[in-house]
Amino acid sequence: MENGRQIRWNGWGPRNAAPPESFWRWLAGALSMPALLATPPRAFADIALPPVRLPGETLQKFSALGIRRDDEARVRHAGGRSLSDLLRLRAGDISAAPDAVLYPRAESEVLTALVLCAELDIALIPFGGGTSLVGGVTPPTDSPSLALDMTRMDRVTSLDAMSGLATAEAGITGPELERQLGARGMMLGHRPDSFEYSTLGGWIAHAGSGQEAVRYGRAADWLAGLRVATPAGILTTQDAPASALGPDLKQLMLGSDGTLGVITRATLRVRALPAAEEWRGYVFPDFASGLAAVREARRQGLPHSMLRLSDAAHTRLHQALDRARHPLDARRMATDAWLRLRGFDHKACLLIAGFAGRTGEVARGRRGFDALARRMQAARLGAQPRWTAQRYGAPYLRDVLLDRGLGLDAIEVSANWATLPGLYAALRHALQRAMRDHVPRRGAQGLVLAHTANAYPDGAALNVSWIYPRLLEDDLAQAAAIRAAALDAVAEAGGSISHAWGTGADYRGRLESEKSAQGVAALAAVKQALDPKGILNPGKLLP
């Protein structure tokens, strides 16, 4: 089933080796459990797909569009990678599988698919890397549907080095985009946690943000122009550096979740490859002092590409994994002893700082942050080659946790600096209470972990995750209840519930609370104008 760089059919990333048993013993103790279970997923051979609902003569109309209706293609497009998606896939529930999958190679073929689906009243689900964490690519279960897999449209078609602009097809993955740009001495630098599998079109459709958005920008910053295929025709925007000729229509597509049109290509603001890149580690006495350092670095404008601060719980998990994988590492053991001598205790928090650019710029940024860290009584750990090598591996841990009877879910939220500490405390409290209420084993508990995703002059984003023992007989309801408690807490504390993951099906009922009833009505009117029959990704974005 797995080949090339395809995502696993029932998991997140590659089939990596599980952590050593010492980690599982540590985690069982942290969850107040005597031991962890063995809960392997159902094998592909043991699942039953729903029958294809579209007759052969209808599917024949799409024969020129690279159509596939085999089991593998349908299963691979039956959902994204939210926890609820994975729980269903692992249990063998493939009820959301599309009737077939289309693989267009050109914008004209995308437009043909849209026109045919509108004529035949068939739902069409734009699909890139399949990494949505908010139910953004799950087909409807109550009507026929086709998935539109964009990954064969994967070329950088032009590069204007003088203007710093490149145009690429929307199905290109992160690694392939950077490979093609890098061969010409350029880069985009948009590297989210899903970088290895996600696509350019998905980044735009979910208004994404990469790990180093401080330097390279969010999708809204680097997106210069678009071509979007809609049932009503092609929507285009000019790639001029600025325009006041009406509202910026690119903003309509940012965060649109594939409901308004299919992004076929985009013009991007790119830059030359940096002369130097490095990632260094720091340990702060506690989360508050680390946040203060991040805030001050942004206020001072210190050159950096990333400041990823883990809270104490996330730091302890990271340390437990590293100790289990490298039990005899002399340097790590010496560092642990040195930190204990300096008085760092269970409240200590790890920060990974990234610096990129000209050699002098990197050195200036490092010296500036070193000085700031000293003022906050932080300890410098030096270069972090292990983090660099494993920077995209964190989401893949969820697969092996599910194999041991545990759930791992996450949200990424944002708030201004004044609101953020209260939001963090309220969210931790709400999650701990919800997990106590919904964890099935007497005395067991969950873990709440957090790290800063991006920081801005006026606030920051937090990635908050939680690990808990699953209620195996009803784990979907359990997961939904815990997540709802988390989202309610964020809304009550005054934060945004989606920093860079889009809306999808999971958050659509909460759109009005941030956009207002009038804003939702305006979006609905745009939807009616571009997709009057509502075939594009139904059930997403709009209530």
Q: Are 234 and 111 in contact (CB under 8 A)?
A: yes
230 and 165, same domain (yes or no): yes
Domain boundary among 149, 167, 183: 149
112 and 171, same domain (yes or no): no
Tracing tokens 């086709």 back to the chain, one arrives at: 146
Domain boundary among 149, 170, 194: 149
pLDDT above 80 (res 118): yes
366 and 314, same domain (yes or no): yes
How, if at all, do strands 233-236 and 223-230 pair?
Answer: antiparallel
Q: Which residue type occupies 186?
A: M
Q: Are 226 and 237 in contact (CB under 8 A)?
A: yes
Q: Give residue 94's domain range.
A: 46-149
Q: Which tens digit of pLDDT belongs to each residue from 376-393?
A: 999 999 999 988 888 998
Mean pLDDT of the chain: 94
Domain boundary among 391, 425, 455: 391
pLDDT above 60 (res 4): no
What pLDDT is attached to residue 1? 40
143 and 178, same domain (yes or no): no
Max distance between CA atoms of the chain, in angstroms, equals 75
Q: Which tens digit of pLDDT belongs to each residue from 128-140?
A: 999 999 999 999 9
208 and 268, same domain (yes or no): yes
Percent of the chain with pLDDT over 70: 99
254 and 331, same domain (yes or no): no
- Whether 441 is covered by a domain: the verdict is no
pLDDT classification of 2: cutoffs 50, 70, 90: very low
d(CA 75, CA 86): 12
- Whether 321 is covered by a domain: the verdict is yes
How many beta carbons lie within 10 A of that of residue 330, not counting itself? 8
User: Which two structure tokens, joined as six digits, stand for 93?
Assistant: 């529930």
User: Which two structure tokens, joined as six digits, stand for 496?
Assistant: 């945004």
197 and 182, same domain (yes or no): yes
- Whether 535 is covered by a domain: the verdict is no
User: Which two structure tokens, joined as six digits, stand for 125?
Assistant: 């689900």
- Find the CATH number of the domain harbouring 81: 3.30.43.10
116 and 145, same domain (yes or no): yes
- Whether 94 is covered by a domain: the verdict is yes
- 460 vs 13 pLDDT, higher one: 460
323 and 367, same domain (yes or no): yes
- Whether 412 is covered by a domain: the verdict is no
- Whether 405 is covered by a domain: the verdict is no
240 and 304, same domain (yes or no): no
Q: Which tens digit of pLDDT belongs to each residue from 440-457?
A: 777 889 999 999 999 999
The structural domain count of the chain equals 3
pLDDT classification of 353: cutoffs 50, 70, 90: very high
Q: Which residue type occupies 127?
A: F
pLDDT above 90 (res 3): no
pLDDT above 90 (res 395): no
